[in-house]
Structure formats: C-alpha cells, structure tokens
C-alpha cells in the first residue's frame, strides 16, 4: 500500500483556463505554438490565472481525437509553428501562401493533412541540405535524438513504415514488419531511413517550440496542466514496439479491450476498443513503462491529469470479439502498487485524478489515500437530489471544479438545452435568472471550496453549443473549434480586469 497522502500537492487556492492549443487563433489553419500561444499566456497573467490546462498533445490520426494518438510520448506535428522556419531559411514566404486556403474559425483536419505535411517535409529537406547541426533555441538535433531514443526510435520507425504501407494498421503490414526487432532487420529499414529521420526532425521542432512556450508561461507564473489518457490506441507505436505490455496473445490481436458497462446513458455500455494492459508484466519490472511515461509527461507539463483514473483501481474487461460492452467483467487494476512506485521515482509528481462517471466509495478512498485531487463538474450538479457530489455544498477542498470540460457542452449550450427541471434547480441554487449562465457558473467555481477552479475558454467568451469541443459518441465534427482573433481580443478587453477581481475576491 502506498503511504497515505504520498502524492498530495494541491495546497493553495487558484484558477486556470482549459484551452487546447489547437483552438488558439491564427492564420495557419490550426492553433500553433507561436505568437498566439504567447499572447494567450499574457491574457492568463493579466486575468489572474495561474494555470493553463491542455488536452493530450500526441500525434492524432483518423478521427482527430487527442485521446487516440499514435504515441504516448510523441508530440503532434500539426502544432508546429511554421513562422520561425522562415527565419532559419527552412521555408520561404511563398511556401506559406497555401495556408490561406485553410479556415480561421475551425480546424479542417483533412485539408490540414494535405497542406501541412508537405511543408514540414520541405523544411526537413532544406535542414538536411543546409548541413546544420541545430537550430537556435532548439538544442543540437543529434543530442535530442540520443536523449529521447528509447521512445523516439520506435516511434519514427512506426510512422515511416505506416507511410510506406499506405497508412494501414501495423497488424496488416508484411510479417517481417509486425514486430519492431524484426522490422529493424528487414529490407524496409534501409528503405525508410529518410522518413525516420524526417519524423525525428518533426519531434525536434515540436519539443523545441513547446519547451520555449512552457518556459515563457512559467516565467509569467503560469503552470501547464497536461492530460494523460490511461489507455493507448491499438494502432500506435506503443503496442507495436512493446506488445508484451498489453493483453495480446498474438501480435495486433487483443484478447480483451477497454470500455465501460451499461449505465443510465447507454443500455449496451461503451466499447472503446483500446487494448488492455498486461498488468502482471508491468508489475514484474516495477511499472517501468508507466514511470517512464509520466516522467516524459513531467518534462512538458507541470501537473498531469490522469484520464479515467478509476481504471487504475478496477476496469471493465470486454472480450475482443464482443459486439458491445455488455459481456465485459470487472478486473482489478494495479491500485496502490503503481502509485507507490510513482511516489518513489517521481516524488514531486503533481497529479489530478479524473474521477468522473460511475465512481464508488472504494475509488474515492483510493484517491484520497494517495492525496490526489479529484474533479467536479457543475453542469452535472442540477436536476437531481441534494446529495449530488457535484453540487458546491458537497465539494471538498482537495478538488478541481469546472463548469464543464471538453466532453461537455459549453455552459450557455447546456443551459439552452437543459430540461425545465434542471434549469429551475440551477437558477434557484445559484440565485440567478439564467440570463448570463456561463458567468453564473464561473463565479460559482471561484467562490467554491475547491482549491482549484478551471474554466473553459468558451465559457469566458459566453459561447453556445457551436463552440463545443467534443460530443462523446459522435464520430464527426469534434475537436475542430477555434477562437477567432477579434472575439478573443474583445473578451480580453471586456473580461480580464473582472476575472482578476474575482481571483482577488475569492483568494485565487
């Protein structure tokens, strides 16, 4: 059993904003790690915030979800700011003219795929031709490759082979490429050398820019809260390079997959399809992979949110061939053993437990024993009984309170679509008329007992359902929302002083 409160860290009252970098404004078709991101840091500082929360930063594929990535360690090349590459001569102004075809108010991932990848490959080609060993403020390229080789080499090989085989799943590759050690000896290894080096260069650019942004934020007193999905995608470098760490008796064929059981929202449950961990294998080497994963996370984040925290206590184990989640059974997670090792290897780790959904007292006790703050969502509070865990009078100090998260509607959208019972309960509880509901919830978060209040940027901007980031269960139209520059600037001018006043008023 892990020492009581071994990972406790949230001592002071504070506030932050939830905004994924893809949602930043700008003219590159997607939010990037450049001037607009630094400008957002200034907004946070002036408004009295101390945290910027982001979603997972990994490279995304079909569906564009940051929670389904090709790697648990790599960064998303889409977030690379192309402007600095002009200064280094890796791109020319005329190369960027094609960006004008991309929309400003949302991300068109299909069009972005067709436009940005050729530009990144062109930048790599010119970097190689220039004979450079480094870019200013990015470090030496060879040093980066050496320092990150344990995950970078298999990731770059996976991406290069995936391109070679037309984007297909690694389980459909030629037999000699379905295992990483064998792929290194195959004829395709030499053939994909240039592509592997290109993907290493893209990671060099991403992490170089991210570290510059993080240093800028930290300099202004802003800490970054990151997000770690508990599961990885089957189509990922992680399962390809380390299949022994997952429940797969045959390569690329999981025996069981992840999901959640039937509940109020779904009669058949949710079949996520992610491969499950072989926790016995992880225990044998003292959770080396997980410790390394979190260690890598803490290089880029100050605090890490653990998605689906209950899965570390128990998880729904569904036969891989099942058509839905009803045939699953509960299985025991690593519980204290994993976090004991995390506390030993990463004693300064700051973690947030995403404990939403169907949670029982044993999981709450597990969370509290570790000292981790859990989460509360005000949109979940109304329309039921007074013992709802999300109602402000039931919150605890060691928690993080949100009006809603990326998986929720915006607060304006929620109120517009809520039932009459929910609206009435919310108005009576908050003692408001509902005419400015996003700000009603923001104020309630600030004055709550929860030590950390996180507010989605869409709520600060009082935006409706069209600004929703994700609608779980819907396959299309997610992850696309972006701020528009004029709307952001107007919000900054109209709300920054008021937000700073709220932080002062409620000791945040």
CA–CA separation, 240 and 46 (whole Å):
45
The β-bridge partners of 15 are 453
CA–CA separation, 404 and 385 (whole Å):
19
pLDDT score of 301: 99
pLDDT score of 473: 78
223-228 sheet: strands from edge to edge? 351-353, 303-306, 223-228, 51-53, 14-18, 452-456, 399-402, 374-377
Using DSSP's 3-state secondary structure scheme, residue 1 falls into coil
| CB atoms near residue 171 (< 10 Å) | 15
Contact criterion met (CB below 8 Å) for 200 and 152: yes
pLDDT score of 476: 86
pLDDT score of 9: 98
* Catalytic (active site) residue 307: yes
Contact criterion met (CB below 8 Å) for 375 and 451: no
In order of 41, 400, 427, 479, the CA distances from 229 in angstroms are 25, 18, 35, 16
Instruction: List the catalytic residue out of 108, 153, 407, 424.
Output: 407
Domains of the chain, CATH where assigned: 14-372+470-505 (3.20.20.80)
pLDDT score of 2: 56
Q: What is the pLDDT of residues 16-66, one digit of tens each?
A: 999 999 999 999 999 999 999 999 999 999 999 999 999 999 999 889 999
Using DSSP's 3-state secondary structure scheme, residue 322 falls into coil
Output the tens digit of pLDDT for each of the chain's 508 residues.
Answer: 555 578 999 999 999 999 999 999 999 999 999 999 999 999 999 999 999 999 999 999 889 999 999 999 999 999 999 999 999 999 999 999 999 999 999 999 999 999 999 999 999 999 999 999 999 999 999 999 999 999 999 999 999 999 999 999 999 999 999 999 999 999 999 999 999 999 999 999 999 999 999 999 999 999 999 999 999 999 999 999 999 999 998 889 999 999 999 876 678 998 999 999 999 999 999 999 999 999 999 999 999 999 999 999 999 999 999 999 999 999 999 999 999 999 999 999 999 999 998 889 999 999 999 999 999 999 999 999 999 999 999 999 999 999 999 999 999 999 999 999 999 999 999 999 999 999 999 999 999 999 999 999 999 999 999 999 999 878 889 999 999 999 999 999 999 999 999 999 999 9
CA–CA separation, 32 and 19 (whole Å):
12
Instruction: List the catalytic residue out of 36, 238, 247, 354.
Output: 354
pLDDT score of 376: 98
Going by C-alpha positions, the residue among 254, 260, 294 that lies closest to residue 278 is: 254
* Catalytic (active site) residue 108: no
CA–CA separation, 102 and 25 (whole Å):
12
314-319 sheet: strands from edge to edge? 270-275, 256-260, 314-319, 329-332
Main-chain phi, psi angles of 452, to 5 degrees: -125, 125
Instruction: List the catalytic residue out of 307, 355, 440, 444.
Output: 307
In order of 47, 231, 308, 455, the CA distances from 17 in angstroms are 10, 25, 21, 5
DSSP conformational letter for 276: P
Q: Treating both helix axes as pointing N-terminal to C-terminal, what angle do 485-505 and 437-447 enclose, rounded to 10 degrees?
A: 40
pLDDT score of 150: 97
């Amino acid at each position: 059993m892990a020492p009581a409160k071994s990972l406790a860290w949230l001592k002071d009252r504070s506030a932050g904003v939830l905004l994924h970098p893809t949602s930043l404004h700008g003219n590159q078709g997607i939010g990037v790690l450049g001037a607009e991101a630094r400008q957002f840091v200034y907004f946070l500082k002036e408004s009295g915030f101390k945290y910027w929360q982001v979603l997972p930063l990994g490279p995304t594929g079909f569906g564009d979800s940051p929670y389904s990535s090709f790697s648990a360690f790599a960064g998303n090349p889409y977030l690379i700011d192309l402007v600095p590459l002009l200064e280094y001569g890796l791109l020319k102004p005329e190369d960027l003219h094609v960006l004008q075809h991309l929309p400003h108010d949302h991300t068109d991932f299909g069009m972005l795929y067709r436009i940005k990848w050729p530009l990144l490959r062109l930048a790599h080609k010119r970097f190689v031709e220039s004979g450079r060993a480094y870019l200013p403020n990015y470090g030496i390229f060879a040093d980066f490759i050496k320092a990150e080789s344990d995950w970078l080499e298999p990731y770059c090989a996976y991406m290069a082979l995936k391109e070679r085989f037309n984007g297909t799943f690694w389980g459909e590759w030629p037999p000699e490429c379905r295992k990483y050690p064998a792929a290194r000896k195959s004829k395709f290894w030499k053939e994909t050398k240039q592509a592997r080096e290109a993907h290493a260069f893209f990671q060099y650019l991403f992490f170089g820019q991210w570290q510059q942004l993080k240093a800028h934020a930290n300099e202004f007193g802003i800490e970054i809260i990151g997000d770690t999905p508990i599961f990885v995608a089957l189509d990922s470098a992680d399962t390809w390079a380390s299949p022994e760490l997952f429940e797969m008796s045959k390569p690329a064929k999981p025996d069981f997959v992840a999901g959640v059981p039937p509940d109020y929202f779904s009669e058949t449950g949710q079949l996520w399809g992610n491969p499950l961990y072989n926790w016995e294998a992880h225990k044998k080497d003292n959770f080396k992979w997980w410790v390394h994963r979190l260690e890598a996370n803490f290089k880029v984040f100050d605090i890490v949110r653990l998605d689906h925290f209950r899965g570390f206590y128990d998880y729904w184990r569904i036969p891989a061939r099942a058509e839905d989640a009803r045939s699953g059974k509960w299985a025991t997670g690593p519980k204290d053993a994993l976090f004991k090792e995390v506390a030993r290897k990463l004693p300064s780790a700051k973690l947030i437990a995403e404990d939403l959904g169907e949670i029982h007292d044993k999981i709450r006790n597990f969370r509290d024993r570790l000292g981790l703050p859990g989460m509360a969502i005000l949109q979940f509070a109304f329309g039921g009984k007074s013992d709802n865990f999300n109602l402000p009078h039931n919150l605890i100090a060691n928690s993080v309170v949100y009006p809603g998260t990326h998986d929720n509607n915006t607060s304006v959208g929620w109120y517009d679509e809520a039932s009459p019972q929910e609206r009435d309960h919310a108005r009576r509880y908050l003692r408001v008329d509902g005419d400015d509901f996003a700000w009603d919830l923001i104020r309630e978060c600030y004055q709550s007992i929860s030590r950390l209040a996180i507010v989605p940027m869409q709520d600060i901007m009082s935006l409706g359902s069209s600004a929703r980031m994700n609608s779980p269960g819907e396959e299309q139209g997610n992850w696309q929302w972006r701020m528009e520059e004029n709307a952001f600037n107007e919000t900054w001018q109209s709300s920054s002083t008021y937000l700073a006043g709220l932080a002062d008023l409620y000791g945040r």
